[in-house]
Copies of this chain bind each other. A is one copy, B any other.
Amino acid sequence: MSSSRLIKCLSSNNYIVRSFSKSSIPTTPTPDFPGEYKEPIVKTQIPGPQSKALIERLNKLQDPRAAHFFADYANSRGNYISDVDGNILLDLYCQIASIPIGYNNPELIKAAKSDRWVSAIINRPSLGVLPPKDWPALIENSFMQVSPKGLNQVFTAMCGSCANECAYKAVFMHYQHVKRGGKPFTPEELSSCMKNQEPGSPSLSILSFKKGFHGRTFGTLSTTRSKAIHKLDIPAFDWPAATFPDLKYPLAEHAKENREIEDRCLQEVEQLIKTWHIPVAGIIVEPIQAEGGDNYATPYFFQGLRDITKKHGVSMIVDEVQTGMGATGKFWAHEHWNLTSPPDIVTFSKKMQAAGFYHNLDYRPSESYRNFNTWMGDPVRALELEVVIGEIKKNHLLDNVVITGNYLKDGLFDIAARYPGLIQNIRGEGTFLAIDFPTPAERDRVISHIRLLGVEMGGCGERSIRFRPMLVCQPSHINQFLNRFDQTMKELYKN
């Protein structure tokens, strides 16, 4: 999708009030999920009595306070998650945006029982030391099938936080390598790093954006700026944070104003790079700030970032942990930008199931064992990625995402029109959509209420609901959501 199409999508308002009846549902090139439920089934409160008993039992062993309910995964199918009390919910949150092609996908079941998968699971290799014989072929058939344009190397890791941590390390090593002009390490560097002191442990920084989220380990948490609860009591590096554009939606209706906002933010980024008391080696940015509230910027802004980073010799890391793998209608959200040169690093996890980052040879460290660990990822997750990519291509799931996303967005505009001021800032790309409510309490009330009607959803930012359906979510599923959302709004606001 071109940038003009992106802006058009984000500003679409040609909705009409509809009844969300079966006849109005568009079809997609994607086949129905085999054996899926017809619609949500709610039998008890959620969490129900069995979930509550299990929460009590888990509490003796582990912190259960974030649990929505206990799931019965054997009984879950496609877009529907089952709980232990026999409730069947339409899942639009999908394990914090990490299920790509449906619960109990038959192709994944078949593959998981194969000797190849079984061997990968039980003979877990140290991939850096003793890689399996099919590892290069598997990389070609999985990661490289969807490698971002211009990046031909992949570093594999275990999760999104580790992907970003290792990306930061690659950026710092690259920065110092350039600085020392390829010369070997000095004796001072070799000895001082053992004391965590300069010059071996240099004072360098990664610039991130306010409201950004990049993980919870010590490096990534120093760049996460979404919520205090993630950061309180944890020591952090004194790294700079720039303001992310706080744009007005629909974007196209506020193009001039938004451009001014983005220009100010770009100026701030450049100013921070020039003046921060610790040199900025890299910046990290999400294409859409997800955990921080589904905040958008335009391709103009990201091209500006690329220009500034190029100008100042700063690496540009695009964090596609949540946006990658199709939810915006393209494999990578940054494809919507048409950058004049690729980002230096693109990180991934979640719906990829396998985690890591793409890069080029200039971000391979000068020696081996420098960006390294015991497992270096997990080959079974690369095998899973191979199946997921195959399904996306065979079943035209990116086309499905565009059709389903447009249908969802239209439906949201329909309902919002009947609740002026309550449902705000409908925005997004593909099925990666979000809406705002006036207050956090109202947002939370809607999520709790619609769960009791059989839809599992999640919030983000202060007062947003984020839509994170699977790539196999079709307009018919969205219709079930829209009817229940309509009902929720009626019941809560007596309209």
Task: State the A residues within 8 Å of B (CB).
Answer: 50, 54, 57-58, 60-74, 76, 81, 84, 95-96, 98-99, 103-105, 108-109, 112-113, 115, 117-126, 128-133, 135-136, 139-140, 143-144, 152-156, 158-162, 165, 168-169, 172-173, 175-177, 185, 189-191, 193-197, 200-205, 210, 215-220, 222, 225, 228-239, 241, 349-350, 353, 364-365, 367-375, 380, 384
**Complex: chain B residue closest to A61, CB-CB:** B139
**Complex: chain B residue closest to A233, CB-CB:** B176
Question: Which residue of B112, B228, B239 is within 8 Å of A190 (Cβ)?
Answer: B228
Question: Which residue of B67, B185, B365 is within 8 Å of A228 (Cβ)?
Answer: B185
Top 7 A-B pairs, shortest CB-CB distance: A218-B219, A65-B368, A196-B236, A108-B122, A201-B236, A176-B233, A95-B126
Contact between chains at B231 and A374 (CB < 8 Å): no
Contact between chains at A201 and B104 (CB < 8 Å): no
Contact between chains at B155 and A158 (CB < 8 Å): no
A495 to B143, CA, bound (A): 52
Contact between chains at B216 and A228 (CB < 8 Å): no
**Complex: chain B residue closest to A118, CB-CB:** B112
> Given A62-B154, A202-B233, A374 and B95 touching (CB < 8 A)?
yes
21 CB contacts below 8 A, A to B, read A65-B368, A66-B129, A66-B368, A67-B128, A70-B130, A73-B123, A95-B125, A98-B124, A158-B159, A160-B374, A161-B217, A162-B162, A173-B233, A193-B231, A194-B241, A196-B231, A196-B239, A202-B235, A217-B218, A219-B219, A230-B369
**A207 CB to nearest B CB, Å:** 12
Contact between chains at B95 and A124 (CB < 8 Å): yes
**Complex: chain B residue closest to A232, CB-CB:** B193
A83 to B219, CA, bound (A): 37
The residue among A74, A81, A165, A185 with the most chain B CB atoms within 10 A of its own CB is A165
> Given A122-B104, A374-B160, A196 and B218 touching (CB < 8 A)?
no
Known: A63-B365, A108-B122. 12 other contacts (CB 8 A): A61-B154, A66-B129, A67-B131, A95-B126, A96-B374, A98-B375, A99-B124, A109-B122, A159-B375, A161-B373, A173-B232, A194-B225
**A140 CB to nearest B CB, Å:** 7
> Given A140-B61, A218-B217, A350-B374, A95 and B129 touching (CB < 8 A)?
yes
> Given A73-B123, A373-B159, A193 and B228 touching (CB < 8 A)?
yes
Chain B residues with Cβ below 8 Å from A159 are 158, 162, 373-375
A483 to B404, CA, bound (A): 67
> Given A104-B119, A112-B122, A154-B61, A68 and B162 touching (CB < 8 A)?
no
Chain B residues with Cβ below 8 Å from A368 are 63, 65-66
**Complex: chain B residue closest to A203, CB-CB:** B235
Question: Which residue of B129, B165, B230 is within 8 Å of A218 (Cβ)?
Answer: B165
**A414 CB to nearest B CB, Å:** 30
A193 to B84, CA, bound (A): 39
**Complex: chain B residue closest to A195, CB-CB:** B241
Chain B residues with Cβ below 8 Å from A96 are 126, 129, 374
A189 to B229, CA, bound (A): 10
A373 to B236, CA, bound (A): 18
Chain B residues with Cβ below 8 Å from A115 are 74
Contact between chains at B216 and A219 (CB < 8 Å): no
A197 to B195, CA, bound (A): 23
**A73 CB to nearest B CB, Å:** 4
**Complex: chain B residue closest to A115, CB-CB:** B74
Contact between chains at A136 and B58 (CB < 8 Å): yes
A229 to B202, CA, bound (A): 14
Chain B residues with Cβ below 8 Å from A71 are 125, 130-133
Question: Which residue of B66, B113, B191, B195 is within 8 Å of A128 (Cβ)?
Answer: B66
**A314 CB to nearest B CB, Å:** 15
> Given A54-B136, A196-B239, A119 and B372 touching (CB < 8 A)?
no
Chain B residues with Cβ below 8 Å from A153 are 61-62
The residue among A220, A233, A373 with the most chain B CB atoms within 10 A of its own CB is A233
A343 to B125, CA, bound (A): 31
Question: Which residue of B154, B161, B189 is within 8 Å of A232 (Cβ)?
Answer: B189
